[in-house]
Amino acid sequence: MIKPHGSDTLNPLFVQDDKARAELIKEAEGLPSIVVCSAAAANAVMLGGGYFNPLTGYMNRADALSVAEKMETTGGLFFPVPILNVVEDASSITGAKRIALRDPNVDGNPVLAVMDVEAIETFTDDEMKMMTQQIFRTDDMEHPGVKAFNSVGKTAISGPIQVLNFSYFAEDFPETFRTAYQIREEMAKLGWEKVVAFQTRNPMHLAHEELCRMAYKAVKADGILVHMLLGKLKEGDIPADVRDACIRVMAEKYFEPNTVLITGYGFDMLYAGPKEAVLHALFRQNAGCTHLIVGRDHAGVGDYYGPFDAQKIFDEEVPKGALLIEIFKADHTAWSKKLNKVVMMRDVPDHTKDDFILLSGTKVRAMLSEGIAPPKEFSRPEVAEILINYYRGLKEKPKIKLHKHSGG
């Protein structure tokens, strides 16, 4: 199986020994504490699960600025985006060398991790602007990632952490949430060496399903890791539990047995396009995958990125050898009326737009909202049924407030 990023073995920061963890939980109750933002909590979950190997905690100001500008720490470690614990006000922990980090997404704000404080530093407005521009390629506050990044404060608390739990993810998604080391263990049991990963924050339609098969066959993989984001999304995106149900029914009914693992990870979506695609590749390598599918507008939002910018970054900006995982570059996939199957558009140069069944996301949402299933050439009927029921529920309860940590 592929080596993790930056080390020979994976070093997750979750305290796995029950006795040691119980002692830390007890110690944490007597420590100065701070409620972190959702992004910092998600970073802790990812660090705990080994996804951000080989980091030992949150980056300091110098490393964050270096990573934003050059995709490497001051010590030369390749990393695509800063991994930060940023707060508006750190006065409650001034002078503390060891603190407890409390979870903003779980009722009662339980302790998520214990941290050794190495530095408390504040970014200037210019530094925040530079990082924003480098990570997101825009500083437009209408961009959901830009808005989230710039609305939680400018003071970074850095240092190593010991993670005590996985926030709401393990409890809310027990069948789906997996750490990087758990995924490695499951793939080892299955005897998988070559594994292609598929990233999704949406329900999977027929084109996504076929894309996974195309990549699986093209790289002669042993298996497919369908790896869905379970954390916070922008308003209007499909909640994680609904996506989970859609993907599971599709995999169970339409994939060959023992060819696909349905899993999820606890992270808040950045919508950072190319830079997030590189982060996706890094943490899939840490999970043991040898290939990552990167398609059109991977991790994008709106019109902020070109359709293939998330592929170009691997050729133009990621240093050769920085990552071991390989990228499977995908074109737009759709049903061909001529060939009566899903194809990649680049593979059928004789086709015109009218030869494909193409539906915009807006059109699909409108159909589902009216209780109309998209054509079978676009979506599996079982998936459409789950989504129709979800949209029907929204209509019946337009003012319903989602649970504080519903994963959507």
**142: containing domain:** 18-167
**Spatial contact of 42 and 268, defined as CB atoms under 8 Å apart:** yes
Q: Are residues 202 and 72 in the same domain?
A: no
Tell whether the model's pLDDT for residue 251 goes beyond 90: yes
Q: Are residues 356 and 290 in the same domain?
A: yes
Q: Mean of the pLDDT values across residues 324-336? A: 96
Tell whether 186 is covered by a domain: yes
Tell whether the model's pLDDT for residue 67 goes beyond 50: yes
Q: Active-site residues: which are they? A: 201-202
**Spatial contact of 317 and 78, defined as CB atoms under 8 Å apart:** no
Q: Are residues 200 and 317 in the same domain?
A: yes
Tell whether 370 is covered by a domain: yes
CATH classification at residue 297: 3.40.50.620
Tell whether 407 is covered by a domain: no
Q: Are residues 143 and 218 in the same domain?
A: no
pLDDT reported for residue 105: 97
How many domains is the chain built from? 2
Q: Are residues 121 and 207 in the same domain?
A: no
Tell whether the model's pLDDT for residue 404 goes beyond 80: no
DSSP 365: H
Q: Are residues 76 and 197 in the same domain?
A: no
Question: Where a domain ends, among 132, 167, 202?
Answer: 167
Contacts of residue 298, Cβ cutoff 8 Å, sequence gap at least 6: 199, 273, 276, 277, 280, 310, 311
pLDDT reported for residue 81: 98
Nearest 5°: phi and psi at 267? -145, 150
pLDDT reported for residue 397: 67
Tell whether 402 is covered by a domain: no
pTM beyond 0.85, yes or no: yes
Tell whether the model's pLDDT for residue 398 goes beyond 60: no
Q: Mean of the pLDDT values across residues 260-277? A: 97
DSSP 355: G
Q: Are residues 160 and 46 in the same domain?
A: yes
Handedness of CA 165, 171, 172, 178 (dihedral sign): positive
DSSP 203: -
Distances 315 to 150, 306, 312, 318, 322 between C-alpha atoms, Å: 29, 15, 5, 6, 12
Tell whether 55 is covered by a domain: yes
pLDDT-derived band at 235 (thresholds 50, 70, 90) equals confident
Q: Are residues 103 and 180 in the same domain?
A: no
Q: What is the pLDDT of residues 182-222, one digit of tens each?
A: 999 999 999 999 999 999 999 999 999 999 999 999 999 99
Q: For residues 228 and 201, what is the distance between their CA atoms, to the nearest angstrom?
A: 6
Tell whether 8 is covered by a domain: no
Q: Are residues 68 and 140 in the same domain?
A: yes
What amino acid occupies position 237? D
Tell whether 408 is covered by a domain: no
Q: What is the pLDDT of residues 337-380, one digit of tens each?
A: 999 999 999 999 999 999 999 998 889 989 999 999 999 999 99
The least confident of 14-18, 179-183, 276-280, 295-299 is 295-299
How high does pLDDT run on average in the chain?
95
Contacts of residue 31, Cβ cutoff 8 Å, sequence gap at least 6: 96, 98, 99, 100, 114
Percent of the chain with pLDDT over 90: 93
Place of tokens 């970014």: 123
Tell whether the model's pLDDT for residue 407 goes beyond 80: no
pLDDT reported for residue 403: 43
Q: Are residues 66 and 127 in the same domain?
A: yes
Percent of the chain with pLDDT over 70: 97
Q: Are residues 159 and 210 in the same domain?
A: no
CATH classification at residue 56: 3.10.400.10
Q: Mean of the pLDDT values across residues 383-399? A: 85
Q: Are residues 115 and 232 in the same domain?
A: no
Q: For residues 340 and 274, what is the distance between their CA atoms, to the nearest angstrom?
A: 33
Question: Where a domain ends, among 167, 195, 217?
Answer: 167
pLDDT reported for residue 361: 83
Nearest 5°: phi and psi at 212? -60, -45
